[in-house]
Amino acid sequence: MRRRSVVVLVFLGCLLGGAPLSAASFSLTPRETQEAIRFGQRSVVAEDFDREWKRANAAGETVTVVTPFFRLAQAARNAAFKSEILTQREIDSLLKEHQGKLLLWAYLRGKRVDFAHWYQPVLVVPGKGEIKPSFVQNERTALRQEDGRFLSRCIYAFPANDLPPKGRATLVVRDHEEREVATFSIDLSGMR
């Protein structure tokens, strides 16, 4: 009987503001901020730290979905590797930079060193249509890989005001002729 009471209390704690329920948050509360920092600090021994936010497509390309929670956890993790802790100024700066945005780090492959130069991303959200990015940075000189192909690291920022925290979206990357060159399914309910 005692075990059941503990389970009920933990569940109620989650509902009333304990650990956040599973969904992307684009504006962290103070409690979520502290949880992100603790998560990052504890993850120094976890090799799959970013698994929750990383997605791959059929071609083996990846995208990392950078929510404010992920970015703060990553910074806390990096500080912990150096036996440091984040200062309040660093925390405030990261939150100011990332709140209200969905940042995507895309790792795309191509045949030429400048293949990604003119790529244009959109985020397709069911019921909302295509959302244009507020920022695009395509790597112009991709890195040569062992297989002879090239890897381009691209950064795409989207406004989060039209994104459902528990919804789905698809990142679609098109070339200069409007052909789709990469797509990634993103389930925001599966990440913080």
Give the pLDDT confidence of 70-79 residue by residue, as tens digits: 999 999 999 9
Classify residue 111 by burial, with Cβ atoms within 10 Å: 0-12, 13-18, 19+: exposed
**pLDDT tens-digit readout, 2-60:** 334 333 333 333 333 344 445 788 889 999 999 999 999 999 988 889 999 999 999 99
Classify residue 171 by burial, with Cβ atoms within 10 Å: 0-12, 13-18, 19+: buried
Main-chain dihedrals φ then ψ at residue 167, nearest 5 degrees: -100, -170
pTM over 0.85: no
- For residue 172, give the amino acid letter: V
User: Domains in the chain, start-ordered, CATH in brackets?
Assistant: 26-190 (2.60.40.10)
Q: Residue 162: its pLDDT value, please?
A: 79
**pLDDT tens-digit readout, 76-100:** 999 999 999 999 999 999 999 998 8
